Amino acid sequence: MFLSPACISQHTLPRVLNLALRQTAQQNIISSFTRQLRPTRPSLSTLSPLRAATATATATVEMASVQIPTATGGSERVPFSQLKGRIAPQLLQNIEKMGLTHMSPVQEQVLQMSSLKNDCLVQAKTGTGKTIAFLLPALQNILTAPDLQRDFVALLVLAPTRELAQQIADECDKLTGRTLDCHIAVGGTAKESRLKKFLNGKPTVLVATPGRLIDYLSEEETRHKLSKLRCVVLDEADRMLDQGFAPSIKRILQQIPKKQVAGWQGMCFSATVPNEIQQFLPLVLNKNHTRISTIDPNETPTVDRIPQSAIPIESISDALPVLHSYLMTQKKANPQLKAVIFSGTARHAGLLYHVFGPTGGAAPKGLPCFQMHSRLSQPARTRTIEEFKTAEAGLMFASDVIGRGMDFPDIDLVIQMGFPPEKAQYVHRVGRTGRAGKSGEATMILTPQEMRFVRVNKDFPIRVTEPFNHPDLPRSVTKIAEALEKVPEQTKNQAYTAFLGFNVTIARQLGLQPPDVVNLANDFAYSMGYEEIPEVEQKTVSKMGLKGVAGLRIQGKGVSRAAPGPNNRTGGGRAQGGPGRMQRGKVVDPRAGGGQNNYGGGGGGGGPAADGSNGGGNRSQGGSNNSRGGGNRRGPRESTGANAEEPSRKRPRRGAQV
């Protein structure tokens, strides 16, 4: 049940909480809530064919190669000290300074190849120490080369994201003690100044994302700097292909010295080896390359061993209060909670950070807040990554920039606000927790439309919980309402526009038509405390394919209207409104139900009151006159007028924020 500050009083709160306690006792939610969110872990035999194949992916490469058996982790770990005489003392000393004493399985297998100059194809997951595994042999060969020219790049590393590229560069600096210059070329930074520094410097190592390196290679001086390569590394090759970098990688390999001529060492690291990767292997690896796999074919994938759940909510306006109440529950169970909350857009992630972070202050006490998304500058992203890595507890509000490849230690919980458009995104998001064999859990907060994800993806072990009816939920409603009042208007406007655009892209998956998308976005706006929906630029509306759809406020033109007539109806209202709570951005008296309607359609009858008595609200007529149906909190129909051509976009009073 949802309340606003305007509705909570000394008289109503005890009654509401008593009702919630009765409901909770009946559903056994409070005493077993955490247990309910932990689904039965499936055995390998229950895996879907698709994910079972992914878990044991060992695609055959049509090249002669030396196969090293898969490491299962059963043997005792080998200390780095055993590499004396094989690795330069300088590198081993810096390894010790980094606090590393023993090799991970992937490091052990790569560093114990017959020759550290061998080409290799390595299957390894993120978070297994693979960065050290490819940097150590490459740097060893560079440092011991008698004819090293420091004006030229000797080691080129390609990575799919700027965050991963920065991580690799940082590790390189630690290993070398900055005795070799390591440069980075990624998007989101000042290209001209970075390029100038690169061309005027002595970059022995270059770590780059494919897109930005293509920009660099347009300069003849850059191609000259790369004319004496000794090693090329493709890190997370499968992910680079997933992100559409295949054409860029091909262009890069065509513009740097050919392997057959220059003879540089090639290393390819990838969690999986799909057929698409094979087309690059002859350009990067020689025929007699070493193939290594540290992925146990019998290991249960993270997505199968992590308890997963979905919390259903009645409408988008319930999302933030439920998130707040859920986090409070988790914080009580685990005072050192460390969680990642994923959003579908960067703007929504930023909104959540403002609500829960320093601006709104809604986060549980003792949990610092962080944000990570594409709208942040590269320095801000780098700083946030380091801070969250070292934090013992905290909340990270993020978009998919950290959905894969970023290794944050000790993540207890992953929460997804809404569902990801692709199954792979879901898998990688869930994979942020339970890393290195540790425990963790994942949940989703889903509207009725979004619950379709669970129904369609039955191969994922997602348990649908009971609706979240914690007795502290009214307090969360109040807290979120107060926090939203403090969030800058621009932040909320941007979140609304991004929400609208995102739902346009996933409308088919949700089973929504354009008018439904607009209605959903407007409900989202009301949930942020708007009395009137925000304006959207005409060109933005056109790009979204929403031109002519009723319900949008076009900048400088007012609310867009639909032509009158029954054909404009988007559907009738529900037969009965939900129990007393928030309806269409208005706070509803806890004793009265409210009908819920679709614009242009008739509203439903009043729902039951929160205390069990009958709520008011008659059925209203919509459609031909485009009036807005739906019972209000007291009973009579709330319409915009007998012959109104559009629904009112204003709420009846100021006091109702959510």
Q: What is the CATH number of the domain that holds 406?
A: 3.40.50.300
Same domain, 333 and 286: no
Residue where one domain finishes, among candidates 443, 470, 497: 470
Q: Specify the amino acid at residue 210.
A: P
Same domain, 344 and 287: no
Query: Mean pLDDT, to the nearest integer, of 426-437?
Result: 83
Same domain, 379 and 459: yes
pLDDT at 609 over 60: no
Closest to 416 (Cα-Cα) out of 306, 506, 311: 311
Question: How confident is the model over 438-482, as pLDDT tens digits?
Answer: 789 999 999 999 999 999 999 999 999 999 888 889 999 999 999
Q: Specify the amino acid at residue 629.
A: G
Question: How confident is the model over 354-390, as pLDDT tens digits?
Answer: 999 999 999 999 999 999 998 888 788 888 988 998 9
Same domain, 103 and 244: yes
Same domain, 208 and 154: yes
Both tokens of 569, joined, read 């109806």
DSSP 120-181: EEEE--TTSSHHHHHHHHHHHHHHT-TT--TTS--EEEE-SSHHHHHHHHHHHHHHHTTSSE
SS3 374: coil
Is the C-alpha dihedral spanning 315, 320, 326, 329 positive or negative? negative
> Is residue 278, in this structure, part of any structural domain at all?
yes
Distance CA 113, CA 255 (A): 30
Residue where one domain finishes, among candidates 419, 438, 470: 470
> Is residue 419, in this structure, part of any structural domain at all?
yes
DSSP 647: -
- Partners of 292 in the beta sheet? 68, 122
**Tally of domains within the chain:** 3
DSSP 550: T
Same domain, 465 and 548: no
DSSP 450-484: TTHHHHH-TTS-EEEPPP---TTHHHHHHHHHHHH
- Partners of 281 in the beta sheet? none
Same domain, 220 and 241: yes
> Is residue 317, in this structure, part of any structural domain at all?
yes
> Is residue 579, in this structure, part of any structural domain at all?
no
Distance CA 37, CA 388 (A): 26
pLDDT at 487 over 50: yes
Distance CA 65, CA 292 (A): 10
SS3 221: helix
Question: How confident is the model over 286-339, as pLDDT tens digits?
Answer: 999 999 998 877 666 777 889 999 999 999 999 999 999 999 999 999 999 999
Closest to 328 (Cα-Cα) out of 479, 532, 160: 479
pLDDT of residue 612: 38
Range of the domain at 335: 32-46+301-470
> Is residue 651, in this structure, part of any structural domain at all?
no
> Is residue 365, in this structure, part of any structural domain at all?
yes
pLDDT of residue 598: 37
Question: How confident is the model over 553-573, as pLDDT tens digits?
Answer: 998 887 776 534 333 333 333
> Is residue 568, in this structure, part of any structural domain at all?
no
0.85 surpassed by pTM: no
Same domain, 162 and 268: yes
- Partners of 147 in the beta sheet? none
Same domain, 41 and 69: no
> Is residue 590, in this structure, part of any structural domain at all?
no
- Which DSSP helix (H) or strand (E) runs through 541? helix 538-543
Q: Which residues of 461-487 are buried (b: 16+ CB within 10 A; e: fewer)?
A: bbeebeebbbbbbbbbbbbbbbbbeeb
